[in-house]
């Protein structure tokens, strides 16, 4: 049997989450906070030789062109829409065009900000290969998608690759669960899901690895952060790398479609 796959992904966006708690930041500060976390994160990925996928907004890419271009030399860049706040039907195509201009490479994947539903025909028309906008779990105050498919599947001309959740209880492998679940329990759920699904698609944000004190965020969002969170991620990636092979979401999609 082929080795399980680890699909590490990051939503590379403006640090706008303080606006949800009553504090609006200037766009430049939003970009700088994300860049601070990105620098720490990419140093870890280089050190470990890990490939991953960064779903970047076009706004972030336009404000940090050199960083995005450099990142695209070793990691997959995919689209996270035009901006993290707001949506128009033109955004998937517009963001793809901008990201391709910045990186000089084809953009194959899309993930909508905050996992908002997006019409497949917009993605197909724009020329995307896969969509990773589904989070098939229950997130209080956001969405309940407990009956959505858990695993990758074809839908028309598009490959749908939901973010991983465990069998049965649909434990989510995303940033909030990683922060707020004891590491032994998170690893146990990851091992269970790897064995059952053959792959694990996880989601984080580069801004989590910046220092988040002083932004008025609740502890369940801001703690741990910065170097402490980076150390926790490094330990988890060492554990995961002993059980699965890291690959980009685009490479996983290509292998899936070639079956």
Write out the DSSP string of 127-147.
T-SEE-----SEETTTEE-TT
Supply the Cα-derived Rg of the chain in whole angstroms: 17
- Whether residue 1 is predicted with pLDDT greater than 70 in this model: the reply is no
Residue 2's pLDDT is 60
Model pLDDT for residues 131-183, shown as the tens digit of each residue? 999 999 999 988 999 999 999 999 988 999 999 999 999 999 999 999 999 99
Model pLDDT for residues 70-85, shown as the tens digit of each residue? 999 999 999 999 999 9
Domains of the chain: 5-257 (3.20.20.370)
Q: Average model confidence (pLDDT) for the chain?
A: 97
- Whether residue 86 is predicted with pLDDT greater than 90 in this model: the reply is no
Q: CA-to-CA distance for 131 and 152, rounded, in angstroms?
A: 10
Residue 156's pLDDT is 87
Is the four-CA dihedral 27, 33, 37, 39 of positive or negative sign? positive
Q: Label residue 40 left, alpha or beta by phi (over 0 means left) and psi (-120 to 50 means alpha).
A: alpha
């Amino acid at each position: 049997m082929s080795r399980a796959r680890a699909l590490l992904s990051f939503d590379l966006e403006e640090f706008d989450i303080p606006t949800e708690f009553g504090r609006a930041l200037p766009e430049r500060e939003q970009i700088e906070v994300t860049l601070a976390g990105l620098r720490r994160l990419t140093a870890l990925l280089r050190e470990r030789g890990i490939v991953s996928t960064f779903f970047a907004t076009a706004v972030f890419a336009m404000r940090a062109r050199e960083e995005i271009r450099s990142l695209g030399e070793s990691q997959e860049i995919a689209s996270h829409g035009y901006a993290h706040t707001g949506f128009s039907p033109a955004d998937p195509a517009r963001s793809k065009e901008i990201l391709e201009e910045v990186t000089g490479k084809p953009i194959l994947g899309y993930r909508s900000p905050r996992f908002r539903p997006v019409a497949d025909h917009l993605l197909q028309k724009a020329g995307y290969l896969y969509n990773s906008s589904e989070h098939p779990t229950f997130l209080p105050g956001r969405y309940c998608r407990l009956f959505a498919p858990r695993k990758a599947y074809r839908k028309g001309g598009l490959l749908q690759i939901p973010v991983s959740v465990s069998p049965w209880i649909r434990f989510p492998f995303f940033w909030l669960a990683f922060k707020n679940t004891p590491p032994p329990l998170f690893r146990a759920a990851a091992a269970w899901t790897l064995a059952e699904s053959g792959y694990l698609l996880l989601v984080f944000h580069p801004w989590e690895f910046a220092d988040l004190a002083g932004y008025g965020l609740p502890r369940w969002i801001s703690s741990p952060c910065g170097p402490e969170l980076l150390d926790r991620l490094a330990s988890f990636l060492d554990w995961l790398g002993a059980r699965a092979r890291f690959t980009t979401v685009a490479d996983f999609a290509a292998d899936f479609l070639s079956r």
